[in-house]
Chains A and B, each alone.
Chain A
Amino acid sequence: MLELAAVQGVSVPTPDTQDSPLAIRGLTVSYGQKPAVFSVDMTVQPGAMTAIIGPNGAGKSTLLKAALGIVPMVSGQVTVYGKPLTEQRARVAYVPQRASVDWDFPTRVIDVVLMGLSRQLGLLGRIRARHMQRAADCLRQVGMQDFADRQIGQLSGGQQQRVFLARALAQDADLYLLDEPFAGVDAATEKAIITVLKSLKDAGKTVVVVHHDLATVTDYFDHVYLINTRKVAEGPVAQAFTAESLQAAYGGRLATAQIDQISHALG
């Protein structure tokens, strides 16, 4: 039965997906004729920080969005801690790309963070002092406590990114999925975000980040997932983040000098 399923390309849940915070099997997503993500598997390690890397248009963000049900999948199976996502929403926090929302929206920084508490508040639950306290606390963790009453459009890109992270913190999840949190942010923000992510990891949470900067992969992450429409490599940084796998993922798009530099960094 299992063999038959494998031959036909059908995924069958396996014991190793039971413990994984996010297990993806045979995921295919297509926006048109050409698939953006084709038949990929992913098994996120609990308590680890994983980087999803790959060239532009490789399907990094699409992989996350499909796993979260934001874009429809053609085929595939996703489990979160061994169960379907719909049963586990409270355990997952998602930070979208900053450019995906309209920052002119009439709302304040603190209101955005409070959105992270909406599952807890329900449809009509009143925002009480303890909710405000919690939101303010999350803003403090990302160093944005002085901006609570600002309109969100008045922030710099890095500050907006930190507000998005504070909203995810307010969700108090076990699995954090971030889409390009370091894209176009200042050095202070990058440092603030990585500090928060590492403290999440220290608290036993699982963090998955769509990442574009190959130079910081070894510093920031302990697991890596390389994708170029298809899965290229997956595993601990030392084993999967190699010149060969990068060459396979990026093809001719990565200059030889870059590969040398990374190989050097890897020792």
Chain B
Amino acid sequence: MNGEEFVPLSLTPLLIGTFAAIACALPGNFLVLRKQALIGDAISHVVLPGIVVAFLLTGAISTWPMMLGAAGAAVVAVVMIEAIRRLGQIETGAAMGVVFTTMFAAGVLLLEQTDTSSVHLDVEHALYGNLESLIWLDATGWSSLTDPQALAGLPPELPRIALTLAGVVLFTWLLWRPLKISTFDEGFARTIGIRTGALGMALVIAAAIAAVAAFDAVGSIIVIAMFICPPSAARMMTNRLEMQVGWSVLFAAFSAISGYVLAGYGPLWLGGTDAVSAAGMIATMSGLLLAVAARFGPCRTRAGAPVSG
């Protein structure tokens, strides 16, 4: 494929998909080890009505109102969970399940009732994102990468997700030691002065920011899959956290790139005519990677309960 075709049509979606996948996979490592993997799932469900309401109020897709809407929705969710748990006298997990699905359904309903035809915000995009449409029409070839005029026409999702990824990387790098220690042994972490409550909250907020930014570009399917699949597959490749995070980045990037290419060309190779959803294919690839790692990974056996004596 030559640059004239690749750069305008495929380069930006590939980069956005890869950045989004890595930005979710990084905090996903800690969430999976803390047995909070479904928080990514929860966030991506809960924020939908918040994003829709923000869109209805401002009339445009812009980052800050959407982030605020998402944050507001998360607060509403927390209050609702607590209220249902107390009033209904049921366990937290059940209350969460009810709130997440209801809020997501409310978001979908809101979307359907409103006229969003002028912008890329509808039910399909909420689920699958609009990765294929994030093209760079101002580009003419590789030389456009150094052309300021062409660069000005980059889809705004690219700098947005790149900035989010940079933030997530910085967060992980700066707080690596406290994150590792408090994930392994929270009691010990507190005795050496780590504020585990605040740190856990910061991790969830970092995950939420990654989820909202990725959601905006690639839809909720990729978000859910990338929080869980690359870190889980990476865990079966190594017994060291440092290596696990490295593997998860590799797996996330591989899923994004192979998924995007297969979605675009796979059906043609099989004699079909239409491309399939890139987001769906990326999530599928990450699931396949997980299956392969679960079958062949070198560290897939668990020690289980420690042997006494």
Q: Contact at A103–B240, with CB atoms within 8 Å?
A: no
Q: Which of B180, B185, B303 lies in contact with A104, CB distance below 8 A?
A: B303
Residues A107 and B240 in contact in the complex (CB < 8 Å), given A157-B306, A186-B309: yes
Q: Contact at B309–A103, with CB atoms within 8 Å?
A: no
Q: Is B241 an interface residue (CB 8 A)?
A: yes
Taking CB atoms and an 8 Å cut-off, the chain B residues in 257-309 that contact chain A are 299, 302-304, 306-309
- In the bound assembly, the distance between CA atoms of A185 and B309 in angstroms comes to 5
Q: Is A141 an interface residue (CB 8 A)?
A: no
Encode B170-209 as 1/0 by CB contact (under 8 A) with A.
Answer: 0000110110110111011011110000000000000000
Q: For B239, list chain A residues within 8 Å (CB).
A: 106-108, 151, 153
Q: For B193, list chain A residues within 8 Å (CB).
A: 86, 89, 119
Q: Which of B178, B191, B241, B309 lies in contact with A106, CB distance below 8 A?
A: B241
- In the bound assembly, the distance between CA atoms of A69 and B187 in angstroms comes to 9
Q: Contact at A157–B33, with CB atoms within 8 Å?
A: no
Q: Is B244 an interface residue (CB 8 A)?
A: yes
Q: For B45, list chain A residues within 8 Å (CB).
A: none
Q: Which of A86, A94, A103 lies in contact with B187, CB distance below 8 A?
A: A94
Residues A106 and B190 in contact in the complex (CB < 8 Å), given A101-B185, A153-B303, A157-B309: no
Q: Is B238 an interface residue (CB 8 A)?
A: yes
Q: Contact at B191–A70, with CB atoms within 8 Å?
A: yes
Q: Min CB distance, B235 to chain A, in Å?
A: 6
Q: Which of B188, B240, B299 lies in contact with A108, CB distance below 8 A?
A: B240
A179 to B, closest residue via Cβ: B187
Q: Contact at A68–B184, with CB atoms within 8 Å?
A: no
Q: Min CB distance, A3 to chain B, in Å?
A: 36
Q: Is A155 an interface residue (CB 8 A)?
A: yes
B305 to A, closest residue via Cβ: A103
Q: Which of A65, A96, A106, A160 lies in contact with B235, CB distance below 8 A?
A: A106
Q: Is A84 an interface residue (CB 8 A)?
A: no
Give residues in B with beta carbon < 8 Å to A: 33, 174-175, 177-178, 180-181, 183-185, 187-188, 190-193, 235, 238-241, 243-244, 299, 302-304, 306-309
Give residues in A with beta carbon < 8 Å to B: 65, 68-70, 86, 89, 92-94, 96, 98, 100-108, 111-112, 115, 118-119, 121, 123-124, 151, 153-158, 160, 167, 171, 184-186
Smallest CB-CB A-B distances: 9 pairs: A153-B303, A151-B239, A94-B191, A184-B308, A96-B187, A186-B309, A157-B306, A157-B308, A101-B185
